[in-house]
Structure 1
């Protein structure tokens, strides 16, 4: 284990009163849907945005989480996973925490896939083999750590655990085991578990099931909803994909949910106000191999295998297709799509069912870019498989 700290930045972190409204503290953002509420950032550039900083974090596909002036991500080098904390504006390393972890490449580069989850003064991470850490967000010291998969005797999926930690109240919920597991976030003690079958690769997504809180997960061969407090099943329906690769998160909109998987499986919309959920449509028009879509004003925008696509959310009809993205990823903010292609080109376009027409483009990175870009507080963070992280200034100042 290695640890570095800087007292001054830790002190400034501790006295911060609250998280900025434009922070992005965990995977898919504050509302778990890939959409930021941030406004006032510069979407149209006359020249490439200034690179504020660049860092090397090791091989992997974890995205960046931003909270209270800090940026967090993970990577692997020399069979060690490292959790990094940077000053979000300058890129100065605040701390890092390393632990033994295999790279585990399998038809791709390997390294951690789950994104750090910041919850107040703590950061939670998940390794590919089920190692879960709870770290002090200011200093990087270990509050608790354990291999949850080993404790639960849960089988590891072929490409390792990839779902990020979801926090609800005092529970840390993981897509580990047959239908998830709930841990006491303060101690790591298992509160509930669900069996030992291989999990899916997606992150649990919260919703209200009647008067109770629940989470929805795409697991190995099903979509399942369980109660937050005890893991008891609310409903499930089958979702079988080739190689059992269910990686994209469910997306809730109103009383409906959109589910999608790659390998030519496709996607569909289901009404979750009924039990079990009622299928409204299901086709092959949106095949999310890895990254999730966003839904905006009645339309679904996402990466269909290796192309960018827009669907009518009510019918599943294709509105447009564009080759820009490859197997890239996207998010949405202030009526703009922010798309990072698999070759590292970053584009911003007005969200429209009429077509993809970028108003800004720049080559943010080289190499393979499967990791979702993040906009937070006037900065866009991008990352490639080799572990290059760049921070671009889009504040317009």
Structure 2
């Protein structure tokens, strides 16, 4: 009898260790840059993904022209695209790609020097979906059925100015507040009914998504406008500090990264990057160079090293690794070209401009891919998303694929 009991305990222990060794089933990706707002997933890629990152395309849909990414909550995916004079928000079943509901509204394509279409990613919280169009249409939907709970046209109601390429920063949801990169220093609205809590002047915003952070002075928000990166108080909108950062055409688009009191900023068009010390509300430049020029897609901070795309879409670009402390280049990998990246644990997943997906460990020693695979055709600038063991990626024409391993 004792022997049987001991065998049973050992079997349970072995099962427990086997469970711990399994890849993480993962979780939601409810908004731009994921649950931690840093472009890094807590999931663990299975061994098969490292051997064959292209995996199997489970399904694909046509969402329409645009560069918005996806949000995934439970078994539902939300994204948006443009077709025939309308923008459409899609709610898709992640199991088979079937459309559960969609909502379309009139919108200009806005194809100035590029394909156009929406750029802001829908944000999901507490059973609601929030969408900002490039022309200032702000919606709140019931996530289950697409019912409009409220909507606003910010150009009219808030008298804001639309930047050259439209609003591209996604809604940031914190507590019961929506934060938008609208105006010269952001805007805050109440989630329940869209009431404007505070707003900034009519200056041109940047194209980054507001990043909630903890500052010496309290709860802050990092964002960009057409001439600077800045921090504001989340409660009042009061400007806490601003660092002048002039990029050609006002394209301050890459999301800032904060570690302790230090903030990394970067932009393309040969502008470069910098690391700022912001303690005490005063900004000091720790280093500044042209070693990492993020035109659109922001970099990732994994450990003490930055990984990102250096260069613009219309020229030779490369994947680079920089030392956070010094800004020195650790390595340069030019085979990917322009594209975007996400991290899954310690693995970098890079989607290049032609639709090939690469995977390699995030290491300052070099980019050494374990595999790569073609998953899309056409122009691929949009950051892929990993949620619940699946990867979602799209191209500019709106073909969106679900990949699993």
CA deviations on 1:231-275 (whole Å, 9 max, x unpaired) are 111111111111110000111122211100000000111112232
User: How big is the shift at 1:40?
Assistant: 4.7
Partner in structure 2 of residue 389 of structure 1: 400
Gap change, CA 1:143 and 1:309, over 3 Å in 2 = same
Matched pairs, number:
375
Does residue 1:80 correspond to 2:86, yes or no? yes
2:71·2:78 contact (CA, 8 Å) conserved in 1? yes
Structure 1 residue 211: Cα displacement: 5.7
- The answer for the alignment partner of 2:390 in structure 1 is 379
Q: Which of 69, 72, 79 is the equivalent residue of 1:66?
A: 72
Q: Tell me the CA shift for residue 307 of structure 1.
A: 1.1
1:346 matched to 2:351? The reply is: no
How much does 1:277 deviate? 2.1
Whether contact under 8 Å (1:237, 1:276) holds in the other structure is: no
Stretches of structure 1 that go unaligned for 5 or more consecutive residues are 1-19
The answer as to whether partners of 2:54 and 2:403 remain within 8 angstroms in 1 is no
Q: C-alpha root-mean-square deviation of aligned residues, in Å?
A: 1.3
Match of 2:332 in 1: 321
2:28 to 23, 26, 41: 23
Deviation of 1:189 after TM superposition, in Å, equals: 1.1
| TM-superposed deviation, 1:210 | 2.8
How do residues 233-252 of structure 1 correspond to structure 2 at under 5 angstroms? 233-252=239-258
**C-alpha spacing 1:240/1:48, structure 2 compared with 1 (3 Å):** closer
Gap change, CA 1:325 and 1:151, over 3 Å in 2: farther
Match of 1:281 in 2: 287
Once the two structures are superposed, residues 305-362 of structure 1 have per-residue CA deviations (whole angstroms, 9 ceiling, x without a partner) of 1211111111110111111332200011121000000110001111111111111211
Q: Which residue does 1:105 correspond to in 2? A: 111
Q: For residues 234-273 of structure 1, what are the structure 2 equivalents within 5 Å?
A: 234-273=240-279
Q: Distance in 1 between matches of 2:143 and 2:306?
A: 35
In the alignment, which residue of structure 2 is the partner of 1:4?
Answer: none
Structure of higher CA gyration radius? 2
Distance 2:371 2:155 in 1: 44
**Structure 1 residue 178: Cα displacement:** 1.2
The answer to whether structure 1 residue 127 and structure 2 residue 133 are counterparts is yes
Using the TM superposition, give the Cα deviation of residue 21 of structure 1 relative to its aligned residue in structure 2, in angstroms: 5.5
Matched residue, 1:35: 40
CA–CA distance in structure 1, aligned partners of residues 38 and 203 of structure 2: 27
Distance 1:167 1:89 in 2: 26
Residues 168 and 113 from structure 1, CA distance in 2 versus in 1: closer, same or farther, beyond 3 angstroms? same
Structure 1: distance between partners of 2:84 and 2:229: 36
* Residue aligning to 1:9: none
- TM-score with structure 1 setting the length: 0.92
Distance 1:322 1:122 in 2: 41
Query: Which string of whole-angstrom CA distances, capped at 9 and with x for unpartnered residues, describes residues 158-201 of structure 1?
Result: 11110000011111010001110001111111110001111100
User: Secondary structure at 1:44's aligned position in 2?
Assistant: helix
Instruction: Report the Cα offset of residue 93 of structure 1.
Output: 0.9
1:178 maps onto 2:184 in alignment: yes
* Runs of at least 5 residues in structure 2 that lack an aligned partner in the other structure: 1-24, 312-316
Q: Does the Cα contact within 8 Å between 2:386 and 2:392 map onto a contact in 1?
A: yes
TM-score between the two structures when normalised by the length of structure 2: 0.90
CA distance in 1, matches of 2:383, 2:261: 26
Contact preservation (8 Å) 1:58, 1:387: yes
**2-structure distance, mates of 1:272, 1:47:** 39
Cα displacement string for residues 109-148 of structure 1 (whole angstroms, at most 9, x for unaligned residues):
0000000101120011111111111111111111111111
Shift of 1:212: 2.2
Q: Is the CA contact (8 Å cut-off) linking 1:303 and 1:325 kept in structure 2? A: no
CA distance in structure 1 between the aligned counterparts of 2:184 and 2:54, rounded to whole angstroms: 46
Secondary structure class of the residue paired with 1:61: coil
CA distance in 1, matches of 2:51, 2:235: 47
- CA-to-partner distance for each residue in 1:56-86, whole Å, 9 max, x for gaps? 0000000011111111100000110000011
Deviates more, 1:385-394 or 1:152-161: 152-161
**Within 1, Cα distance between the matches of 2:183 and 2:267?**
20
Matched-pair contact (CA < 8 Å) for 1:236–1:276: no
Q: Higher helix proportion, which one?
A: 2
